[in-house]
Amino acid sequence: MARTRRPRDLMAQPESFLGCLNHFLTPAVWRQVLRGWPRRALRWRPQPLLLVLLVMTWCAGDSQAERFETARAFYVASYQRKRRPGRSFEGFQQALARVPARALRRVAAAVRARLHQVFAACWLVDGFVPLGCDGSTLACPRTPQLERRLRADTVGDGRPPTVWVTAFVHLSLGLLWSWRLGGAHASEQRHLAHLLATLPRRALVVTDAGYTGYELLRAIIRAGQSFLIRLSSKAPLYTDGRVNLARFKDGVAYYWPQEAQQEQRPPLEVRVIHLRRKGKGDVWLMTDVLDAGRLPRETASKFYRWRWRNEGLFRTYKRTLGKVKLLSRTVAQAHREAEGSLLALQLLLAHGALALAHDGDAGRRLPSARQVLREIRADLRDVTGMYLGPRQRRSYLQRLRRAQRPRWRRRRHNQVRRPWPTRKEHKPPKPPKFRRMGTDLKDLLAKTLGITRDTD
């Protein structure tokens, strides 16, 4: 039996932690980083600044100053022939604050291009690149500047300053793809619209019912991408005849909100998919892929079931990396801490996916972020001279191949273990309401479709 041919990027086996890190942060990536870096005479150059920022997220420590000492020691031990960076944590923070946000976004874009190159063989799944999108909040210290700029308290409930994160995740590999930061009252839909420019070709945006918006859906279609979104009873759907919800499985409808009707804007022709679940609420999905052969019901069900991996990514970011609350005390430092830690999470998951991809398990098995982090910290201790033991018998990449999530049985109960004081109980969305179009609305439909056809 012939073995499947692996890409050239997967044939090269980096066996050490630094080798895996350089496998993604290649010289081409660093050249792209330097193009957008500020040309100032700083003691902290781009490579040591970014590497120390990444390692500070991975290493253990009770404070940022303690993590800085470990991260700087790792850089000095790994690059002994290069110029040593500054020694003080305060100087590191000042140098990081001088870096503009667009330079950090350029770093993220360069890493995304490298990820697409490394995992090209397992990027497409059933003809699509499934990317889940969701958002979450990060608490911040109660400093005067953060409370003034990132205040989340609007009704006197005493909530801390908050940073909002909206992120895309490759659902098959479990990789963080792109993200956008905002204030406490940022809009998830606007964040998703801004992130459309970062999506690869053939992307399928998979979201929950909070992203149903006329302008957002039109923006996704204009960007040449597709969407798969859960429906609720608030979604305005119209059909020519009556629909029996009990027997409905798959059909075409028009998504047409009242604002679009009043402005005489054309409706969106969508495909509605009804998935039945025993013992749980049914799931109604909406997609612009009208061809059932291109996106079957089974594939749509699989992609939406994978959307929970987006929720798991935020759990990994907050609990495994300890980012429930940011530690920076100014707005500039908080945004740079979040950008650096998200980039560190992206590379951490990429290390685990690289080990599985070399064995042909990428997409079938997901890496365990906790175990990958333990192996990274073990190599950090080895490099910095804090720990010397028998771990040198196996290489870093060999240990990563064992860092897999266990095969759990499918849970048939609620995944929330116990009630939380500030958590609202989840209520599944109600099925959508199909409205039958009357004579006036049919005339308006023909008028708007005729206008669009003439303009096209």
Give all strands of the β-sheet with 250-255 in edge-to-edge order: 175-182, 162-170, 129-139, 203-207, 226-230, 283-287, 268-275, 250-255, 236-239, 433-436
- Identify the pLDDT of residue 375: 92
Considering the domain boundaries, does residue 436 fall inside one? no
Token pair of 323, please?
């980012």
> Domain span at residue 72?
8-400
d(CA 237, CA 219): 19
Which residue is associated with the tokens 């300053």? 161
d(CA 5, CA 10): 10
Considering the domain boundaries, does residue 409 fall inside one? no
Say if CB 379 and CB 60 are below 8 A apart: no
Considering the domain boundaries, does residue 268 fall inside one? yes
Give tens-digit pLDDT for 416-436.
555 655 667 778 888 888 888
Q: How do beta strands 268-275 and 250-255 pair?
A: antiparallel
- Identify the pLDDT of residue 416: 53
Considering the domain boundaries, does residue 327 fall inside one? yes
d(CA 157, CA 155): 6
Considering the domain boundaries, does residue 422 fall inside one? no
Considering the domain boundaries, does residue 425 fall inside one? no
- Identify the pLDDT of residue 357: 81
- Identify the pLDDT of residue 383: 79
- Identify the pLDDT of residue 411: 56
Considering the domain boundaries, does residue 420 fall inside one? no
- Identify the pLDDT of residue 363: 66
Q: At what angle do helices 17-24 and 101-118 cross, to 10 degrees?
A: 100
- Identify the pLDDT of residue 136: 94
Number of domains in the chain: 1
69: left (phi over 0), alpha (psi -120 to 50) or beta: alpha
Considering the domain boundaries, does residue 127 fall inside one? yes
pLDDT lower than 70: segments of the chain: 1-12, 40-42, 153-157, 279, 359-363, 385-394, 406-423, 451-456
- Identify the pLDDT of residue 419: 60
Beta strands, E only, 343-446? 433-436
